[in-house]
Structure 1
Amino acid sequence: MPRWRLYPTAGLAIPKKDSYDRSQLIAPHFAYTPELVPVDLAYDYYGTQHQSVIWKPITRDIDRQARGLYRKHDLQFSSSSKAGLYIAGDNEDLQDQARDRMMLLVIELAGSDCRRWQDIDEDVRAIIKRLERHCGRDPGVCVRYYVHHTLTARNERRLANPVRHPEPPLSPLLDPYGHDHPSVRKDRRL
């Protein structure tokens, strides 16, 4: 069973249960975003041409609607945020023809926005209903709220704009208490 990295959810309400909650292939709500492949790319490379032709316009429309929720509800969004239809797994998983391809409507939230999932849940469920009407049946798509994981630099001053922050990056030769390392002389030799 894969181990999912979970965001701390103490005191956080959890969305209602769905058919993917028991699956070991799907990360639970509020896990850090696992490996996902956009539906249109998955069917372009690992599906039939018929699947690709059908799902490409649907995927683009659903993705546009899902990304619109960030603006509508004033949620944090970056270009690397995932919102829309995805197949669970990475490219290696999709190459396995025997593996189930489980489609998810993913909404990736920033850690500070996790408590606001209830604000957008009604709109997300409406997107699923529109998808069901478009397909003429229940496509078996479940919603997952994941947490966007951002990597922070150990030394943020190195990444800072030197025009705004003229001080040099911290030297590895300087200790955290402000005293120079013995190998660095304070006075210049003549």
Structure 2
Amino acid sequence: MGQADTASVIPLTGQGAPHDPDPLAAVERYWQGLRATPHAPTGDVRLDPRGFSGALSDSFIAEAITASEIRICIAGQRLEALAGTPLRGLPLSVLFLPEARPTLARAVRRTLAGTPARLGLIASQGPFRPGLRAGLVLLPLGNGPCRRVLGALSAAQPPSRRACRFRIDMEKGPPGPAQPLLRIVQGGKAGT
């Protein structure tokens, strides 16, 4: 491979970029930045993985296979470690217990209709071990109905065993606009 051939290659491993302590928030910030541009994505969105490089290992891109099911096109290494298998070509639902799949299908349906979703997850880690807590965010790639989804699934700690299957612990609303870290209060000294 010559120098001209490698000029457009973007490494997807996230090497050199520290792992983001909150991968879901990092992916949401990147997605909100896409939507805030003057020419917000309306069709085929081109993603730049450098925009969420600290969360690449927890991220995935998926495409619709039905109105309520998505197939993973590409997935990060930490996500595949949670699954215990390569995820390319598999439906997102393989990461979930059968009883969680109807709730997941509703979240996917809403996302494909244009509304982002965030879910709290938990997986059993075996007897005498606390459940593995995780979060999932599903973000539509386009304004209005779409066929592709940018997502992230991140666990609080590495799994104690391979092939985690999650149940949905709580369903949260769509991510809102980023909130400021500090609130600035106008005015002078407080009254005495």
Q: Answer whether TM exceeds 0.5 for this pair.
A: no
Higher-strand-fraction structure = 2
Higher helix content, 1 or 2: 1
TM-score, with length taken from structure 2: 0.26
TM-score, normalised to structure 1's length? 0.26
